Structure formats: C-alpha cells, structure tokens
Structure 1
Amino acid sequence: MTKTKITRTSRQLPMSNLGGPSTLPRFRWQQPTLDKNTPPNRGLTDEENAHGFNWGKDSILPYRVYDDYDRSQEPGEMPLVTLENGRLRVSVAPQYGGRLMELHDLKLGRDLVFCNPVFQPANLAALNAWFSGGIEWNGLIPGHTPFTTAQVFAGSIETDRGPVLRLYEFDRIVEATWQIDLFLPDDDDRLYVHGRIVNNTDAVKLAYWWTNVAAPMSKGMRVLAPADYSIEHVLPNNELARFPFPDPDRFDGSYPDKWRDSTSVFFRKPDAERLFIAGLDADGVGLAQTATSALKGRKFFYFGTGAGGQQWMDYLAKPDEGDYIEIQSGIAPTQNQRFELQPNSEVHWTEVYGALSVDPAKVHDADYHKASRATGPAIDARFPAAELADVDAFLTAVSRQPLTKRLSDGSAWGSRQEKLTGKPLAQGLDFAVPHPTDCWDELATTGRFSEASLKRVPADFAVSPLWVAALEKSRDKQSETWLHALLLGIATLDNGDRDAARALFERSIALKPTWLGRRQRALVTSDPDAADRDYLAAWASGDAPPALAAEIVSLLVKHGRLERLRAFASGLPASALTDERVHLGRAMVAASEGDLDLLERLLDRHFATVREGENLLDELWVALQRGRLQQALKRAPSPAELAERLKQHPVPAHLNFRMRAVDEVK
C-alpha cells in the first residue's frame, strides 16, 4: 500500500504573462458580459425558476479585473501542490484560485481531466482573465470564480485517515466563506472533494456554486447523466428552454461532437435516487462524478465543432491540443439561479471523481435512457453510496478543523472583515496574512485615515453596506477628507445613484484633486467635453496607471473623436502604447485616415484580451481590404467587388473572435 503524500511540485510549460489586477474600479456598465433579460421560463418548475438572475446585471466590485495579460507563451514553471498515492496524482495551483490542474490515473496512464499544455488567459470571465483546463471551483457569485487568477489560501490537515488538502477564501460580494477539502485515501484511485460554504451573518444571502470539470474531448464521446428532460441555455437571447432529452426533432445531444455551435445543457431528473455525470469515450472509458444530495444540478458544455468554437479551444491552448468538454455539478438546478444561504448556517457536500469503464455497447446504445440506466450500476459499484456517506461524514467533521500546515496565503480581506465585524468568519479557517497596512486596515481598526493614507490614491475598494457604514462612521468621526468622499462616491456609483456619486466626486476633487477623482467624475458626466477634460487632466497628473490611457482611448473611440485620439496617442509613452486598447485605437485612426500600411502593421498581432463575440478586429480587417481594393481600382469598390475581395482575403483566425451561428440551433 502506498500512502498519500502532499508535496510541493511544479510543471514546465509555455506560459503567457498574467499581469496584476487593475487599479481602476470597473462598474457594471463597463463589463463586457451579456446583459439581457431572461425571457419568461415557460415550462420550468418552481425549483428551476427560483432565484433566477440576468447575466451582466450584477456588479463585480469590489473585485478588480485582470486585463494586462499577453500571448507571449514563454517557457515557464507553474508551482503546484500535489497529492499522490501511487494510484492517482492530483495537482492544484493555489495561485489560480486553487484550480485542480491534473487528475492523472497512474494505472491507466491517462489524464482524466483536460490538462492544458499551456497557460493562456483569455477574456472569458467576469474579471476578464480566464483559462481552460482542470477543475475550477465556481462560487460564490455567478460565472467563473473571481479567484480564477488570484491566489487563495491552501494548506494541509493531518487526520487519522491521511492528509487532506484544503483550499479556501472569503468572498467579498456575498460576504461568506468557501472551502474545498481534497481527500485521496491511501491506495485508492478515487478523489473525494468536500465543499463547505459558511454564512456567519444574521442575514439570508443568495449565493452560487458550480464545480466545473474540463474533460478531454474525443470523437464519439458521450455524456451520460440521469435525465427525464433537459434545460438548454440558448444564446443570444439568454433563454432557458425545456426540451426532451435527447430532442427527437434534432439529434442525440448526448454526443458533444454532434453540436456545431456552443451549447449548455442541464440534465433534469428531479426524482432520481442518485445523480451522476460521466464523459465516456468510444470505448466506454472516461471520467465520472457523483455526489451527495446537496448538488442538484448537472450540466455539460461544449464549444461546438464549428469554426468559432474550434478557434476558441485552439486559442486557449494549442492548435489541435485544446479540445475539451465541461461536465459540471451545482447546488441549483441551472446556472441561471442562485440559492439561499440561511443566517448563521453552513452548506456542505461531497463529490467523488474517478475513472469509469462501462461496456461500450451499453454506453452507446441508440436509446439514451437505456445507456444512462446501464451506467447507473457501474456508478454504484465504482462509488458505493455507503462509502460516499462515510467519507462525507468524515470530511464534514474535518472541515471545521484548523490547518496543520499552511502552504499558500490568500487575500487580506478575510482578516479585514473579521477585524471590522469582531467575529471569526468560519470555524477552522485562518485568514491572518502579512500585508502592508492601508486605509482599509485603518478603517477596520481605528476608524480614522492616517496622514500616510491621505497622501496616496488607493488601489483597492470596498462597496458593501457594511464597509459603507464604516466609511460614513469614520467621516463623522474624522470629518470628511478627499478619501472619504472618493471611496463613498465609488460605492454610491456602484449602487446606481449617479447624482449622489457626482456630488461626492466634486467634493473629493475640491479637497484634493487626484487622478482617480477626476476619472470618477468623468464617468458620471453626461457632457463628452467635460469627460475629455477630466480624463486628460487625470492622465496629465503623471501618477495614473497605463490602464487609464486605454480607457481614454475607448471613450474617444466611442464618441468618434478620432482626431483627438490621434493627438492623445501620439504623446503616450511606450509603456502605454503596448496596451491592446491603445493599439486598437491607433488602428482606428489609421483606418479613418487611410494609412493602410500602418493599419496592416497594427493588425499583425495576436490579440490576447479581445472579448468573445467582439467584432472590432474583423471590421478593421474589412476596412483594410476595402482600402486596398480602392487603391487597386482607383475608385470606391462595389459591395459585390468587396465581397469577392473578402473571399480571397478572409478574416484571419487571429482577428476572428465571433461565435457565428450560435443562435441557429433551437
């Protein structure tokens, strides 16, 4: 028998630079996520409609976006923490939200999760940067976790059954804690994952949780889960629609490679005795998951076989090395829902993962429901319910025990929250971490801003009612400073009151003009000229971050002020010119002025931060081809002539970020 060990390891792979979080607070209208109302969900049950929300409506503050990454793909080394017992090797990356990067079955010689050959962020998450592969822990706000590219707490707990690896953090929007405890028993090839969410307040909270597993995609793979019917998330209308599963009017959607366009399918069998999900290949072998009853949702996602989906998978990895599907499980039936956290309560669940092998004739039975029913006994044999219940009880008790050894520090905000409220966030979780004292530490302890804090513009923000109340109490105690007015203005604007926020920004600037105060005032004015003046004055102050230049460029582009954009860009330092938004602004100026050689040079770049579905790059390509054709013809081309030119010179893959035809499959 080989005992389980937890060790520090690393992996060599090409890595792009991530960059740090932005110091510009981003508001909900600055987010590129879908912002459409969900149509009435006809045919769904009360449970499937409970606590629904609309993607893109919620603020991401106080979190800070990561938008300074690139596509350099330089040789790099990714630090990891690994559990291994001679049967399974499990590696996690605490610096990337605790993402499980590897689940390798040593006997099979097979990666059970998609192990990305590179580290490449892309603009696919609420906080911008996201990367594919492994297992991510998505909570407590909708979408990809705000800790996707942030370091979280990690450590080990020694128990009488062997070591447990813990990952945890404090969510600043829900103001509750989440943790994941990973347990790999000695000489076992099954990984147990225990989740715990703690609400230590007297209020009901709405939260979110989905465990997102990337599994290697192979031709003929089938996804199996108990399902009387399915709920499909249909874009671009943000509609949840109920369908039979498989849908007899279309095709057997349990085979991912039959989906041309990207798809999200939620499996629904409310009366099932046991839920599971498995992605099994043509030979009936693959990854399977089941869990305790708290996880009610199961889903699979695939980018699709179309050009757009294939491009995204290649873009996130390497060409022909990035194909994967996602099999997911969540607390609510669908991902368009939150769930209730009761006051002073805890939510627990345990998942178990491992390789599964089922007779391929049964797996690929033409009748989906027969195939699913045939997989059930294999799940029961591989992951016996009694064993799962036993491990669940064990891990529930362990979840409240403190770490034996800390392996990674997370954010200081959990500690600040405990200081502000005067009580621990969760039994067994230690949030103390060394960090430089800033204005928020002063607010949580003394209630007054020091002279040192009043000399610098903050890089971090807090906007919840609890912190706003602390700011207001401090203002009454200390009298209003420029910093009080600025921070209260940011929270007020995040809450949707532009007029009150404008007044606070005016007071902050009157007390002390700062680049951030001017930027904030520019955001709330309805006068483009006034916004220009404030933005340019903020930039001229000399201490604004390069990201502000990109925001100024975006504003000038939005208002079509290309002459001012040209003048602004011409005076920027090299550090700002490398920003992609500044780069694209210069390309727009080149297109408007007919400088086709410069435009072509500016488009000869692999862009890293362009959002899925964004069309600026291919519009600039069309402008370039129209200009080249006009030069050749010595006149403006006709639509037919331009269409023919674009057939001969189609939009290159590195400029095409659209997911075409995504709304054609109904």
Structure 2
Amino acid sequence: MNQTQQKARAEGRTSVEETVVTLPMSHLGGPSRLPRFRWQQPIPDKETPPSRGLSAEENANAFDWGKDSILPYSVYDDYDRAQTPGEMPLVALDNGRLRVTIAPQYGGRLMQLYDYALGRDLVFRNPVFQPANLAALNAWFSGGIEWNGLIPGHTPFTCVPVFTGVVDTERGPVLRIYEFDRIVEAIWQIDLYLPADEDRLYVHGRIINAAPTEKRAYWWTNVAVPASAGMRVVSPGDYAIEHVLPGNELARFPFPDPERFDGSYPGLWKGATSVFFRKREADRLFIAALDKAGTGLAQTATSALTGRKFFYFGTAAGGQHWMDYLARKGEGDYIEIQAGITPTQNQRFVLAADSETHWTEVYGGLSVDPAAVHSEDYAVAERATAEAVDRRFPTAELSDVDGFLTRVSQQPLDRRLSEGSPWGARQAKLTGKPLAAGLDFAVEAERSVWDELAETGEISAGNLMRVPVDFAVSDLWRSALERSAGRQGATWLHDLLLGIAALDQEDMAAARSLFERSVAARPTWLGLRQLALIEKNEDRAEQLYLFAWAAEDAPAELAVEIVQFLLRAGKLQALEGFLAKLPDDIAAQERIVLARASVAAERGDLDALEALLKVEFATIREGEDLSADLWERLQKGRLEQRLGRTPAPAELETHMKAHPLPEHLDFRMRVALQDGTN
C-alpha cells in the first residue's frame, strides 16, 4: 500500500485516487470513417434455429444474432500486436482489504480486484493491452469486469472513454461510470461502492429510459476469472442452456449432464462454450468460480439479475490460442462468470417508457469446503456454496446497501474524473429534456453538424465544407435532418446523411436517390462510396469505388474495402492493378495482406502465399476460418506439386497431419464431437 492508502485505512475509510499502470500496450487507432451497415458485419445474418426445450421466459424477447445494425457507432479496426511499453491511466478504490481499479478510457472496465488477505487478484488481470476482433465494433480485449450493454455483443464502449467521477456520501466515496447508448437511446450507469474495512465490492446498476416510448435493451456483467486446473463453477442449476455450434442455437440439457461429462468443470470442455445455469425454484441466485482448494470469486445480486452463465474458450488449440493471443503465451487462461437481466444472451428485456431499472451486485472472495465443492454430487457442491454465499453476503446487508445505492444513484457527482461522448448532451438538446437525474453529459468538443441540428436546426457553411466523421440514424435524428432540409433547403450533406439513415433501414431506393443527389451537388469520397456500396452492377461499382478513392481526403480504410470488393467479385486483374498503385503504408494494412494471400492462392503462387502466411495477424475475427483455409490451400498445392496430380482425400489427410495449422494462424472455435465431450 502507498501512503495515501495506508492513511485511508488507518482512518477507517476508502480512498479514491487517479493512478497509472505501466504495461505492454498495442496500438489502438481511432474509429473508422466508413459507416458499416448490417450486411457488412462479421456475424452472418441468418435465422437462428428454433431453441430446444426452452420455456416461454427463456424465449421472451428473443433475437437473432447478425440481424441488428451497429450504426450509428463506428468500428475500431486499426490496431496491431506491437505491445510496446505504455501507460494506462486508472482510477483506484482502496481500503486496505480490497484494491479495485477501473480504466475510464476503456469503457470503465474494472481491471483489478485484489484481495490483500488472499494475496491474489480475484479477477483475471491481463498483463498486456491487446485488442482483438471479438466485439460488436471489432476491437475488444480480455480481463477484468466488463459492463456489457445496452446492445447485444460486447459493449460498443469497450475501447472508448466514458464518464467517470466520484460521489461523496455519508458512508464513503462512490465511484461512478456512465454513458449514453446511441442505439437504444438510453443511459447505463454503474456505481462502485467499497465500504471501509470490508472485503466486499458492491456494484449498483442503473438503466434509464427518458423517452416516452418503450424500448428493448440488453445487460450482462461479464467477469473474467483466472482459470486453474480443476476449477469448478457453481451456480444454482438443475438444468442448463447451452449455445450449440455452429448454428448458435440454444438447447436445454440436464446439468451436470451424465450422458456426456460434468460441465461444471470448464477444463472438460474442448470447444468454446456458453453454459446458462437454470433453477426456477432457487432461493437465491449466485455464481462462484472455485479452485481445487474451494477458494475463488463469488457474485450474487438483487433479484433483477435473473441470468447466470459461464463462458470458456475451451482446451482445444484454437481456444487456447485465443487466450494466449489476447494476453501472452501461458498467461491468458481465464473463464468468464456472468450475470444478466435475462435468462440467456439471446434475449433483450423491456425498458418501459420514462422508467429506470436498478440492481445491486456484490463480489468477494469465497472459501468453501473443497470436499463439498468437488463432490461428485453437484447438489452437494451447490448447497455448500449457497450456504457459504449466505454467510458471506447476507441478504439483509445486500438489501440495505441496495437501498442506499439506489438513493445515491440520482445524486450528482462531487467531482468528475473523465469525459465520455458528446452524444448524451446532444440528445438532451434535441429532445429538450434532461436524460437522467444526477448525470451531467457536458463535454468540451468541437461544434459539429449534429450540435447545430440540435440547437438551431441549420447546418453552418463551415460544416458544409467537411465530410462528416460520425453519423446519426435514429428516427429522432432523421426527423431533425428532414426539418433542417425543409427550413434550410436540402444540401449535399443533408442528402448524404439522410441517405445513410435510409440505407440503415435498408430502404435502397430512397438511399440511392439521396446519394445520387448528394454526389451531383458535391462528389465527395463518402457519397461515391455509398453509391458503390449499393450498386449491383459490379463494373459500375468498381468505377464508383475508384472515383471515391481518387476523391479528396479518402481514408485508408476505403482502400481496404475496395480490395475486399474486388476480391469478392473475382476481379483479380483489377485487384492486382489497384494493389500495385497503393502506397506502402496502406498496402501493409492487414486485410490487404490477407487479400494478397487469397490472390496468391487463386493464382497458385504458393511461394508468395507461404510468405504472406508468416504474418501474425491482429484482426482475424473470433471463429473466422480464413487463415486456416489459406493454410489448407497452401498445403494442398504443395502436395499436388510433389505428386504431379490431384491428391486423394486420404493422401491429403495424411499430409495435413504432417503439416498442421501453425498456432499463429489457428483461430478456429469449433471442434468435432469426440470421446463424449463437446
């Protein structure tokens, strides 16, 4: 402990301090300037097969992954694997019993939960900062506790700054994290409370819908826990719901499943898995990840959190590579224990008009008799853990703290520590009403076209000279644009922004008309790109893309999109010509390197393909098989060269066993069913 922490503990209080941690950090670039539409997202748009054996509650407000737009958010896909020495600013809560740190510039992620008495971190504390392609907006990193809402998939705030600050209360400081979600158009808030001289952390959640209409939202608190051999996850469950790959459907299974293996032990799962614990008659819901000695992290909460789940990447090569890839080799093994408002993660919940949703979670180390924890009878482990949870986190104390934090949640900050997005303030200006009691969204930001629309309804001459860097597509903002066009007269920028909103709704005819009018008035790179994106004639689309690339201020990520378009269209000659003219720094973009590898595979240039596959890629998507497919094509080509003919299936199988997929290319998430395991 430093002097500030020692003094706070001596005085019987909790300290709050801004601090910095030094660790290897990979580069994270800014948001892409290209609006990405639903069909451009990496999750396939397909109907999820009907769930098997689920109740009405477990199917309520269900959705299909891949069918939702991520606009108006921008993706973050400009990152690397440099891991050079860097500094990450943090905010720390410390009372001498627990040390809690959060990262304001990374969604308020809780990075550390250190128990001084146990002498260990209760959550997985990643030794590096390494983005990877796993989130709704691409970039995501592992470790700590992620506040995962209000849209499905890892939060859009995972790699961006959010608002944080401190509320001073009669019971001590409360550390607040909050932001405005632009898709749901609602607010999420997390208040962290570490009582003086206690080794329990309380987390109060608040979701506010200030609109006069009902909405659908999503919430799961995702907790990364260091994995260890023999670890067991215990939560009330007499059956489980699992994600079944590759279709991503949900199915009910007995729990633990005697026909297969004891699924409460993450180490028995070969492939990546999600297990939702279900016990309708449970007196109290909780989840605990306990090691061989019966010690680990436990969580319980008030009744609003009805879901409990664990996730593990699995013991197969692809999953193990993912964990190493997100951290360092041999230092990334973790599982996630999670709690959500719905029974499964294929569901949303209802936010009533002008309403708030509240809950309180509590976290702390837990020790249970290891003989009971690891009993062959899961009911014995569940009962012993439930009794320990009741002793460790008495319901009366949780209820008292919940009432206290519910009251505090509407109190304003006494001091702000970090700023988030300007969009909360813009929304409040546009609607003419505050978004939430106690929350201030004012920021220092350059005045944009969206500020002008919210305040005056007219776009200034200065903003009419610039291609926009962000977008708004909701009904509220689209109406503001339409009113502005009626008052000011439709400009190229009105038409472009309205066209993007129309395309987000998949109104192709309206979008095309608006983009054509925008480009006729001013042929910007973005307007031309939008026309190329919806053009069905591939020759015409190619022409539009090349015009867009030649236009002023076209960003590097446009070249990546053009390369991918030409590759999909099979225009290899045009693609090679385009690649030859790219500056070296753009040609080195990872997705362009992968496209060159695909061209080499098509051309049968095995030496070039082999050289390109030596690259350690940073942006391969979770479950993406491109690198594995290219490796197989390389090996098949090498075998054909050696044999002078097409190899028989058995010959290819033998060759692939002798030339297995290199670890740095293995991002596969599926494994075959074997030996009674998944």
Query: What TM-score, normalized by structure 2, do the two folds share?
Result: 0.96
Give the whole-Å Cα distance in 1 for the aligned partners of 2:373 and 2:665. Answer: 40
CA distance in 2, matches of 1:179, 1:354: 21
Q: How far apart are 1:642 and its partner, in Å?
A: 4.1
Q: Does 1:603 align with 2:609?
A: no
- The answer to whether 1:460 aligns with 2:491 is no
- The match for 1:293 is 303
Secondary structure at 1:585 match in 2? helix
Q: Does 1:402 align with 2:402?
A: no
Which residue identity is paired with 2:390? D
Cα distance in 1, alignment partners of residues 343 and 667 from structure 2: 30
Q: Does 1:564 align with 2:560?
A: no
The answer to whether the 8 A contact 1:262-1:662 is kept is no
C-alpha contact 2:77 2:138 (8 A) present in aligned 1: yes
Counterpart of 2:397 in structure 1 is: 387
Gaps of 5+ in 2: 1-8
Residue of structure 1 in register with 2:339 after alignment: 329
Residue aligning to 1:577:
587
- Alignment partner of 1:94 is 2:140: no
Q: Which residue pairs with 2:281 in the alignment? A: 271
Matching residue of 1:440? 450
Paired residue type of 1:292: T
Q: Which AA in structure 2 matches 1:410?
A: G
Between 301-310 and 612-621, report the one with greater CA deviation. 612-621
In the TM superposition, what whole-angstrom CA distance separates every residue of 1:604-639 from its partner, at most 9, and x where no partner exists?
Answer: 211000112222222322333344445555666555
Q: 1:632 to 1:243 in 2, by over 3 A?
A: closer
Residue identity matched to 2:312? Y
Hey, what's the Cα distance between the residues in 1 that align with 2:193 and 2:335? 25
Shift of 1:274: 1.1
**Are 1:533 and 2:543 matched, yes or no?**
yes
2:66 aligned with 1:56:
yes
Deviation at 1:560, TM superposition (A): 1.1
Say which SS state the counterpart of residue 208 (structure 1) adopts: strand
- Per-residue CA deviation, residues 31-78 of structure 1 (Å, 9 max, x unaligned), is 001433222234322211110000111000000000001111111111
* Structural RMSD (CA): 1.5
1:454 deviates by 0.9
1:84 equivalent in structure 2: 94
Question: Secondary structure of the equivalent of 1:520?
Answer: helix
Structure 1 residue 163: Cα displacement? 0.6
| Secondary structure, counterpart of 1:52 in structure 2 | coil
In 1, the alpha carbon distance for the partners of 2:174 and 2:238 equals: 37
Which residue of structure 1 lines up, in the alignment, with residue 191 of structure 2?
A: 181
Q: 2:244 & 2:409 partners in 1: Cα distance?
A: 38
**Structure 2 SS opposite 1:139:** strand
Aligned residues: 666
- Does the 8 Å contact 1:236/1:662 carry over to 2? no
Give the partner amino acid of 2:62: G
For 1:165-314, what aligned pairs fall within 5 Å after superposition? Answer: 165-314=175-324
Q: Tell me, yes or no, if structure 1 residue 137 matches structure 2 residue 151.
A: no
Distance between the aligned counterparts of 1:633 and 1:29, measured in 2? 42
Amino acid corresponding to residue 117 of structure 2 in structure 1? K
Tell me the amino acid that sits aligned with residue 324 of structure 1.
Answer: Y
For 1:624, the equivalent position in structure 2 comes to 634
Contact in 1 for aligned 2:246/2:670 (Cα 8 Å): no
Q: Secondary structure at the match of 1:54?
A: coil
The answer to whether the 8 Å contact 2:319/2:667 transfers is no
Q: Look up the match of 2:437.
A: 427
Work out the CA distance in 2 between the residues paired with 1:663 and 1:416.
52
Identity %: 67
Q: 1:150: how far off?
A: 0.8
Task: Provide the rounded CA distance (Å) in 2 between the counterparts of 1:509 and 1:154.
Answer: 42
User: What residue in structure 1 maps to residue 351 of structure 2?
Assistant: 341
Q: Which range is displaced more, 108-117 or 631-640? A: 631-640
Give the AA of the match of 2:154. H
Alignment-derived partner of residue 3 in structure 2:
none
1:124 to 134, 143, 166: 134
Aligned to 2:296, the other structure's residue is in SS state strand
- What do residues 477-500 of structure 1 show as CA deviations (whole Å, max 9, x unaligned)? 111111011101101010011111
1:554 Cα offset (Å): 0.6
Question: What is the rounded CA distance, in whole Å, between the counterparts of 1:591 and 1:272 in structure 2?
Answer: 56
Instruction: Provide the C-alpha distance between the structure 1 equivalents of 2:394 and 2:471, rounded to a whole number of angstroms.
Output: 47
Structure 2: how far apart are the matches of 1:237 and 1:303? 17
Structure 1 unaligned regions, length at least 5: none
- What secondary structure, in the 3-state scheme, does the structure 1 residue paired with 2:566 have? helix
How is 1:478-557 mapped onto 2 (pairs within 5 angstroms)? 478-557=488-567
Shift in CA distance, 614/539, structure 1 to aligned 2, threshold 3 Å: same
Equivalent positions of 1:2-21 (< 5 A) are: 2-21=12-31
* Deviation, structure 1 residue 579: 1.1
Is the Cα contact below 8 Å between 1:493 and 1:501 reproduced in 2? yes
Specify which of 368, 371, 380 is matched with residue 378 of structure 2.
368
Q: Distance in 2 between matches of 1:100 and 1:451?
A: 43
Is contact 1:557-1:565 (8 Å) kept?
yes
Worse-matched range after superposition: 163-172 or 632-641:
632-641
Distance 1:623 1:276 in 2: 48
Q: CA deviation at 1:18?
A: 1.0
Report if aligned partners of 2:39, 2:45 keep a CA contact under 8 Å in 1.
no
In structure 1, C-alpha distance between the alignment counterparts of 2:512 and 2:615, rounded to whole Å: 39
CA distance in 2, matches of 1:599, 1:229: 48
Cα separation, partners in 2 of 1:645 and 1:580, compared to 1, 3 Å: same
Residue aligned with 1:136, SS: strand
**Distance across 1 between alignment mates of 2:667 and 2:185:** 35
Deviations 1:443-496 (A, max 9, x none): 111111111111110010000000000000001011111101110110101001
Residue 28 of structure 1 contacts residue 58 of structure 1 at CA under 8 Å; is this kept in 2? yes
Output the CA distance in 2 between the equivalents of 1:267 and 1:591. 45
- Structure 2 counterparts to residues 22-37 of structure 1, below 5 A: 22-37=32-47
Shift of the 252–335 alpha-carbon distance from structure 1 to 2, 3 Å rule, reads same
Q: How many Å apart are 1:211 and its aligned residue?
A: 0.2
What is the alpha-carbon distance in structure 1 between the residues aligned to residue 619 and residue 457 of structure 2? 39
Question: What is the CA distance between 1:338 and its match in structure 2?
Answer: 0.5
C-alpha distance in structure 1 between counterparts of 2:71 and 2:628, whole Å:
31
State the secondary structure of the residue aligned to 1:209. strand
CA shift in 2, pair 1:573/1:285, >3 Å: same
Distance in 2 between the 1:603 and 1:246 partners? 42
Check the 8 A contact 1:155/1:408 in 2, yes or no: yes
Q: Is the 2:524–2:552 contact (alpha carbons within 8 Å) kept by the matching residues of 1?
A: no
How far apart, CA to CA, are the structure 1 residues paired with 2:650 and 2:271? 29
Contact 1:217 1:324 (C-alpha < 8 Å) held by counterparts: yes
In structure 1, how many angstroms separate the alpha carbons of the residues matched to 2:403 and 2:44?
40
Whole-angstrom distance in 2 between the partners of 1:399 and 1:17: 35
| Distance in 2, Cα, partners of 1:636 & 1:258 | 39
Given that 1:82 and 1:91 are in contact with CA atoms closer than 8 Å, whether structure 2 keeps it comes out as yes
SS of aligned partner of 2:509: helix
Note if contact 2:71-2:473 (Cα within 8 Å) is conserved in structure 1: yes
2:330 counterpart letter in structure 1: D
